[in-house]
Amino acid sequence: MEWPGLYNYWIVIILMMTGFYTAISRNNLIKKIIGLNIFATSVLFLYITMGKVRGGTAPIVVEGGAIYSNPLPHVLMLTAIVVGVATTALALALVVRINEAYGTIEEDEIIVQDQES
């Protein structure tokens, strides 16, 4: 049956689109960054779901042998998580400076202030 086999991927796409919508339609800069974080987490899901093997276990070698899930997506996503937090930290530092320079973190008010000066 096709539907249960792809249910995971469709929920992942729903999560991705929710994060995407939050990032593009909200005016508050911190809300946008939260939306980007949700998007990044759902991309992690996509890859790790692809690496799962039915009946497998975590890729740590045990005595007697077993079926292991694919370790390569895990490695790549480990990198992605850490790069994500690094980017979030830099983005939040910039938001703090923008707040000090403009007095607000709403995007439309910042644009108005830029156009006036």
Partner 1 sequence: MNSNIVLRAVAKLFIPFIMLFALYVQFHGDYGPGGGFQAGVIFAAGFILHALIYGLEETQKVAKPSTVEIFVALGVLIYAGTGVVSLLKGGTFLDYGVLEHDPVHGQHLGILLVELGVGITVASVMMTIFYGFAGRGRS
Partner 2 sequence: MVELINVVLLALMAIMAMRIAHVRSLFVSVMMAGIFSLLSAAMFTVLDAVDVAFTEAAVGAGMSTVLFLGALGLTTKEEKKASAPSWGALLLVVLTGAALVYGTMDLPHYGDPAAPIHHHTAPRFIEESPKEIGVPNMVTSVLASYRGYDTLGETTVIFTAGLGVILILRRRNKEEDV
Determine if 111 is a binding residue for partner 2 (CB under 8 A): no
Beta-bridged to residue 68, according to DSSP, are: 57
Binder among 1, 60, 62, 67 for partner 1 (CB under 8 A): 60
Q: Give the side-chain half-sphere CA count within 13 A for 75.
A: 4
Dist CA 98 CA 28 (whole Å): 12
Determine if 50 is a binding residue for partner 1 (CB under 8 A): no
CB of 117 to partner 2, least distance (A): 19
Binder among 66, 82, 101, 111 for partner 1 (CB under 8 A): 82
Binding mask 7-36 for partner 2 (x = CB under 8 A): xxxxx-xxxxxxxxxx-xxxxx-xx-xxx-
Q: Which of partner 2, partner 1, none does 64 bind, CB closer than 5 to 8 A by kind? A: none
The candidate with the shortest Cα–Cα distance to 12, out of 45, 36, 40, is 45
Residue 19: CB atoms within 10 A of its CB come to: 20
